[in-house]
Structure 1
Amino acid sequence: MTISKRAVRTHVVTWGTTAALLAGAWVLNAVALPENAPQTGIVVAGEAGAPTSTRNLVVTVDDVRAARSVADADGWTAEGTWLIVDISAQAIDTQVGARLGLADLVIGERTFRATERGQTFSEAKLVPGVPRSGSLAFELPPDALAGDAVLRFSPVAFPNLDGMIEIPVDLDAVPIETQVTLRATDWTKGPEATQ
């Protein structure tokens, strides 16, 4: 009994395709995250004083201050341990849904969300090419103003699998003032206007 060349070619293609599919499945299984893997945003590292961008958000941390009391221009005040972050931000591509959706401070294993009390930049609406500036305030436990921290910003409240900006902060280098007045949220001039 003789086997035709066509039959041999069919068997070779079938076995070759099977081997390729098995190898692809093995690679996919090797690189896939386990079911219990944490879902984190796509992190873009930046530094204070420099613009850092992700998806539809550009953020610049202008100043970081600490205080035992904060106040705003409308007369709101609060006592406690506060970290105040002055920022400028703008959208990149679209105004639709553009806002500062996430503003967190991570110290060790603890995460603090920017307060919405008083006149703050929390969840400010943004437009492309027109920066806004203001202050974010984080109320902290008295022992938290030490060590290293990370500021996290994102255009969405839950940045799982989305862009997230991270800016490191050395809390030991931040002087503690008696009272800080929050910067009013307002439109600012962009870098091109200052040239």
Structure 2
Amino acid sequence: MKKKILVWSLTLVLLAGAWGVSKATLPEDTAIEAFPIVAELDDPAVGRNLEVTITDIHATRRVTDVKGWSAEGTWLVVDLQASTVATQDGDLLGFAELTIGDRRFTATDRGTTFYKQRLITGVPRAGSLAFELPADALTGTGILRLGLPMGQPREVLLDDVIELRVDLDELPVEAEVTLDENGWAR
């Protein structure tokens, strides 16, 4: 009888230990997650190989570009300046994501936007990113994440990520916003 109690007690201790280890273990992809760098509007945010200054954010019902393209809908437009810091080998601003609650949106490549623009080391380029959103999405807090992807599209790894919190309730909704022309920053 004592032997059964000892075996069951040892089993319970081992199960509790295994449960504790499983709760303390980080997820598999934690080792490859990006390092977030918190950004503020109009202040440069600098990662290992990416420097971004977000100059303005607009909520709008219509987006146009300098070449005449336009689209109706609900849009969040982010004006920014960006450059690489260390190297420019194949560095495109290829990661631009907006998270609102549990929904994620990628910057559009429609029109003339800054999405996937080639960046130059030490020489900022400027432009606008545009996110097409559902009509009900301009509420709460959004998290804008920008980065330089490394690897294949299905296995995008990010060295570091520039993050900006956006209070969507505070943004006035404009009738129309024209995307900044891609070019050298002033």
What TM-score, normalized by structure 2, do the two folds share? 0.80
Query: Of the candidates 92, 98, 106, which is equivalent to residue 99 of structure 1?
Result: 92
User: What is the CA–CA distance in structure 1 between the aligned matches of 2:145 and 2:163, rounded to whole Å?
Assistant: 5
Deviation per CA, 1:49-73, whole angstroms, max 9, x where unpaired?
1111112110111000011110001
> Which protein is richer in strand relative to its size?
2
Change (3 A) 1:123 1:93: same
Q: Map of 1:21-170 to 2, 5 A cutoff?
A: 33-35=26-28, 40-156=33-149, 160=157, 162-170=159-167
Q: Distance in 2 between matches of 1:31 and 1:141?
A: 38
Q: Is there any run of 5+ residues in structure 1 with no aligned partner, and where?
A: 1-28, 190-195
- Structure number with larger C-alpha Rg: 1
Q: Secondary structure at the match of 1:144?
A: coil
CA distance in 1, matches of 2:116, 2:31: 25
How many percent of aligned residue pairs carry the same amino acid? Answer: 47
**Deviations, residues 59-112 of structure 1 (Å, cap 9, x unaligned):** 111000011110001110000000000000001011211221201111011110
Partner-residue secondary structure (3-state), 1:143: coil
Matched, 1:174 2:167: no
Q: Give the AA of the match of 2:149.
A: V
Contiguous gaps of at least 5 residues in structure 2 = 1-21
Q: What is the aligned length?
A: 162
Q: 2:28 and 2:149 mapped to 1: Cα distance? A: 23
Deviation of 1:30 (Å): 9.8
CA distance in 2, matches of 1:115, 1:30: 38
Shift of 1:162: 2.2
Per the TM alignment, residue 35 of structure 1 is displaced from its structure 2 partner at its CA by 3.9
* CA distance 1:39–1:183, shift in 2 (3 Å): same
Structure 1 segments (4+ residues) deviating >2 Å = 29-40, 157-162
For normalisation by structure 1, the TM-score amounts to 0.76
Structure 1 residues 67 and 38: CA distance shift in structure 2, 3 A: farther
Paired with 1:36 and 1:128, the residues of 2 have a C-alpha distance of 29
Kept in 2: contact 1:90–1:126 (CA 8 A):
yes
Aligned-pair Cα RMSD in Å: 2.3
